[in-house]
Chains A and B, each alone.
Chain A
Amino acid sequence: MAPFVVLDDVHVSYPSPGPGLEAPRILRGVSLSVAEGECLALLGPTGAGKSTLCLCLNGLIPHLVDGTFRGGVHIAGHSTREWTPGELSQTVGLVFQDAESQFVSMTVEDEVAFGLESLGLPPDEIEGRLAEALEVMEVGGLRSRSPLELSGGQKQRVALAAVMAMRPRVLVLDEPTTNLDPVGKAALLRAVSRLRVAWGTTIVWVTQDVDWVPHLADRVAVLWEGQIALEGGLREVFDQGALLRRMGLRVPQVRELAARFGSTGLGGYAWLGVDEAAEALRGRLGG
Chain B
Amino acid sequence: MGPGFDLYTAGTSWLHRLDPRTKMTFVGASFVLLLLTGQIILVLAYLVVVHAVLRRAGIPWRRIGWLWARMWPLTLLILILWPLSNPGGEPVLVQWWWIRITLPGIGQGLLAGLRVNGLAFAVYVLLLTTDQSGLVQGLVGIGLPFEWGLALAIGLRYLPLLLGMYGTITDAQRARGWTPEEEGLVRRARAYGPTLVALVIGALRLTDGLTLALAARGFRPGQPRTTRRPLQLRWADRVCLAGIGVLTLALVAAEWIYL
**Residues in chain A within 8 A of chain B (CB atoms):** 58-60, 63-65, 84-87, 89-90, 94, 96, 101-107, 110, 113-123, 126-127, 130, 144, 146, 148-149, 162-163, 166
Residues of chain A with a CB closer than 8 A to B217's CB: 89, 102, 104, 114-115, 118, 162-163, 166
Residues of chain B with a CB closer than 8 A to A58's CB: 216
Q: A114 — nearest CB in chain B belongs to which residue? A: B217
Whether A103 touches B228, Cβ cut-off 8 Å, given contacts A87-B220, A110-B132, A166-B218, is no
B89 touches A (CB below 8 Å): no
User: Could you say which interface size class chain B belongs to?
Assistant: 20 to 34
Q: Is A105's CB under 8 angstroms from B132's CB?
A: yes
Whether A104 touches B8, Cβ cut-off 8 Å, given contacts A84-B220, A89-B218, A117-B225, is no
Residues of chain B with a CB closer than 8 A to A107's CB: 131-133
B143 touches A (CB below 8 Å): no
**Residues in chain B within 8 A of chain A (CB atoms):** 1, 5-6, 8, 10, 131-133, 150, 209-221, 223-230
Q: Is B226's CB under 8 angstroms from A148's CB?
A: no
Q: A103 — nearest CB in chain B belongs to which residue? A: B213
Bound complex: CA of A208 vs CA of B37, how far in Å? 64
Q: Is B209's CB under 8 angstroms from A101's CB?
A: yes
Q: Is A126's CB under 8 angstroms from B216's CB?
A: no
A82 to chain B, nearest CB (A): 14
Q: Is A106's CB under 8 angstroms from B220's CB?
A: no
Residues of chain A with a CB closer than 8 A to B230's CB: 123
Apart from the given pairs A104-B150, A123-B230, A126-B228, 14 other A-B contacts in the complex at a CB distance below 8 Å: A63-B215, A86-B219, A89-B216, A89-B218, A101-B212, A102-B213, A106-B8, A115-B218, A117-B226, A119-B218, A120-B223, A120-B224, A123-B228, A149-B1
| 30 contacts across the A-B interface (CB closer than 8 A) | A58-B216, A60-B216, A64-B212, A64-B215, A65-B212, A84-B215, A84-B220, A86-B218, A86-B220, A89-B215, A89-B218, A103-B213, A105-B133, A106-B6, A107-B132, A110-B131, A110-B133, A113-B228, A116-B226, A116-B228, A117-B227, A118-B219, A118-B220, A118-B225, A119-B218, A120-B225, A120-B226, A123-B229, A146-B6, A166-B217
Bound complex: CA of A133 vs CA of B198, how far in Å? 37
Residues of chain A with a CB closer than 8 A to B132's CB: 105-107, 110
Q: Is A104's CB under 8 angstroms from B228's CB?
A: no
Report the 5 A-B pairs with minimum CB-CB distance, sorted nearest first: A86-B220, A118-B218, A85-B215, A106-B132, A115-B217
Residues of chain A with a CB closer than 8 A to B6's CB: 106, 146
Q: Is A122's CB under 8 angstroms from B226's CB?
A: yes
Residues of chain A with a CB closer than 8 A to B214's CB: 86, 104
Bound complex: CA of A205 vs CA of B150, how far in Å? 31
Bound complex: CA of A130 vs CA of B225, how far in Å? 16
Q: Is B131's CB under 8 angstroms from A60's CB?
A: no
Residues of chain B with a CB closer than 8 A to A89's CB: 215-218
Whether A64 touches B211, Cβ cut-off 8 Å, given contacts A104-B150, A105-B132, A120-B225, is yes
Bound complex: CA of A173 vs CA of B224, how far in Å? 28
Bound complex: CA of A119 vs CA of B220, how far in Å? 9
Bound complex: CA of A123 vs CA of B229, how far in Å? 7
Bound complex: CA of A106 vs CA of B5, how far in Å? 10
Residues of chain B with a CB closer than 8 A to A106's CB: 6, 8, 131-132
Of B1, B225, B229, the contact of A148 (CB 8 Å cutoff): B1
Residues of chain A with a CB closer than 8 A to B210's CB: 104
Q: Is A130's CB under 8 angstroms from B228's CB?
A: yes
